[in-house]
Structure 1
Amino acid sequence: MSQGSRSGSLTAYALYAAGTALMAANPLIGRAVAHTVPPVGMAFWRWLLAFLIVLPFALAGLKTHRHAILGQWRRFLLLGVLGQGISGAVVYMGLERTSATNASLIYAMSPVMILIIAALWLREQVGARQLAGIGLAIVGVAAILTRGELEALLALRFNVGDLLILAGATSWAVYTILLRGSRTPLPVVTAFAANALAGVLVLAPFYVWETLAVRPVPATATTLLSILGVALFASVLAFVAYQKTIAMMGPARAGTALYVSPLWTALAATVLLGEQLQAFHLLGALLILPGVAMATWPQKPATAPCPAEA
């Protein structure tokens, strides 16, 4: 291996490691401030700040493609409901009731959800290896939902927070499929900005209601830093790192970031949030992560899935 290729490889893997760690920032910060910052407010300001951060880089594309974007405004609002509403605010509601570790492991199911929905909705074929992976991942999520207790499964007793995270993962899967089926492909940064703005518009009325009827976002330095953290690290920088990793490593290897990020979350949640790893966490990880890998690893070159948000 030449010196140049060795250096490029090291850069790619360093970027890969940084990107997977950045993805973990959302459940970590979301859980840390779950009882301080209300969930809709967290999602609203996260995506407004993310939009403002990328706007200087996306403005030219937004102007060039404004007619295509306005012509599909209903579709963009639907994407806002799915990607920033349910996969944003609802996930933060879940983080009020469950751990960051649980949330990250459950959300790692979203690529499998994409595969299941594509098979049922778009009639895409699913092979034996993929079916086995789906089965493993589903059993792993069941282990998380039941805390490893068979009695909870038989009695259908589940943590509400875990179910909200599962709803967010399912919504993200539908969101990803709709993005993949776009009739008017936009430049990557332009699409990111348009989707973020649509999410802000969808969240705005709910944010006003939450502020007036429930509780406002507290105007503190901790709140500002927390929201800026999820906007900059978990949204913009994670997105940029993921796109750069795809360019340097290819979509198949870059896509494995979706399996590695929950491990960062579990480690950081143990150190920073004082969460304790339980046997059911390990069981869930040992089933979900290999299951997702088996189900989604491409047999031929393909486009890597979108990174998970939680």
Structure 2
Amino acid sequence: MNALVSIWSMIILSTLFWGSNFNAAHALAGELPALTSAAERFVLASVVFLAVRLWRGRAESVLHARDAGVLVPLGLLGVFGFNYAFFEAMTSTSALNAALIMALSPLVSVLLSARMLKTPIGAVQWVGIGLAFAGVCLVITGGHLGQLHVATGDAWMLVACLAWSFYSVASKRYAAHIPPMQFARWTVLVGTLALVVAAAWLEASGPALAHASLGAHAILAYMGVCGGYLAYVFWLRGVQAIGPDKAAIAFNLVPVFTLLVNLLLGQIPDASQVAGMVAVLAGVLVFNRWLRWPATPRQRAV
């Protein structure tokens, strides 16, 4: 297989796994509490991370004690915080709503980068940000833009989006010296430990898991292995091969795959969701300069 085809296949697979995560989590709503679901998912993901690490046995960068001051809080925020908010959101919002809100993550990350990393934002990018946020407003208000009421599940998903975006930007600001896979493994382990402790303490996760159906465990296994470990590894390899700017456009496929799974399940989106998706995707495309205004004769001559 051509190397470029292989790379793009991995990138698209990662967005398929992430997109279907929303459908999978929505299917669990009502059967398992949020912390318990997240804990089982990331216990499985952590086992895979550790198994692969032991299998490869390669030397890694030596971490210092001060690195714990970065890895622990980011693990608590990006794994524990994000997943608690994510599973809470899926108990009271649709998979497509959640995926569209999460599609704002790259744009929110840019806004945070402007503050934390002093990254400039151009005029065209502001237009893209405005379009995408308008699309999400359309989705969470159900098309009634004059009503500022936001459903509880959508609010939780906004929290999850903020947590993930801050985790992404803070990793660049405070942990750029740690190799990506090593950073991912340690933050996942920290977040998993916090999820397990919180689930056992607050939700009595043992009895809940014992009474869960085999289907629920299968869904969480899929989310842990495919929607967790494999999605991250495939995405990381793709970014390393072709660069983050080219790979970023594929992230727009996440809500598209969520929609396709919905359609396969016989769930038809309403008009506000379709219009919101168009606006969000257009906003992200404009932001990444994949949709440009026609150049003037003078601009074409430059």
Q: CA deviation at 1:84?
A: 1.3
Q: CA deviation at 1:53?
A: 0.3
Give 1:271's aligned residue. 264
Give 2:300's aligned residue. none
The residue correspondences of 1:203-282 to structure 2 (distance < 5 A) are 203-212=195-204, 216-217=208-209, 218-272=211-265, 274-282=266-274
Q: CA deviation at 1:219?
A: 4.2
Q: Aligned partners of 2:115, 2:218: CA distance in 1, in Å? A: 42
Q: Aligned partners of 1:249, 1:183: CA distance in 2, in Å? A: 22
Give 1:57's aligned residue. 52
The residue correspondences of 1:146-185 to structure 2 (distance < 5 A) are 146-152=141-147, 156-183=148-175, 185=177
Contact between 1:58 and 1:189, CA under 8 Å: does it hold in 2? no
Q: Is 1:35 aligned with 2:36?
A: no
Identity of aligned residues (%): 25
Give 1:188's aligned residue. 180
Q: Aligned partners of 1:203, 1:84: CA distance in 2, in Å? A: 9
Contact between 1:141 and 1:284, CA under 8 Å: does it hold in 2? yes
Q: Aligned partners of 1:139, 1:228: CA distance in 2, in Å? A: 35
Unpaired runs of at least 5, structure 1? 299-310
Which one is further off, 205-214 or 87-96? Answer: 205-214
The number of equivalent residue pairs is 288
Contact between 1:114 and 1:174, CA under 8 Å: does it hold in 2? yes
Q: Aligned partners of 2:275, 2:44: CA distance in 1, in Å? A: 37
Q: Aligned partners of 1:294, 1:61: CA distance in 2, in Å? A: 43
- Give the structure-1-normalised TM-score: 0.85
Q: Given residue 140 of structure 1, which amino acid in structure 2 is its aligned partner? A: G
User: How big is each residue's C-alpha offset from its partner over 1:32-74, in whole Å with a ceiling of 9 and x where there is no partner?
Assistant: 1111121111111211211110113335789854642x43223
Contact between 1:58 and 1:190, CA under 8 Å: does it hold in 2? no
Q: CA deviation at 1:258?
A: 1.2
Contact between 1:50 and 1:231, CA under 8 Å: does it hold in 2? yes
Q: Given residue 137 of structure 2, which amino acid in structure 1 is its aligned partner? A: A
Give 1:136's aligned residue. 131
- Give the structure-2-normalised TM-score: 0.87
Contact between 1:210 and 1:216, CA under 8 Å: does it hold in 2? no
Give 2:6's aligned residue. 11
Q: Aligned partners of 2:163, 2:58: CA distance in 1, in Å? A: 26
Q: Aligned partners of 2:57, 2:206: CA distance in 1, in Å? A: 38
| Aligned Cα root-mean-square deviation (Å) | 2.4
Q: Given residue 53 of structure 2, which amino acid in structure 1 is its aligned partner? A: A
Give 1:303's aligned residue. none
Contact between 2:249 and 2:288, CA under 8 Å: does it hold in 1? no
Q: Which of residues 249, 271, 284 in structure 2 aligns to 1:292? A: 284
Contact between 2:41 and 2:220, CA under 8 Å: does it hold in 1? yes
Unpaired runs of at least 5, structure 2? 291-302
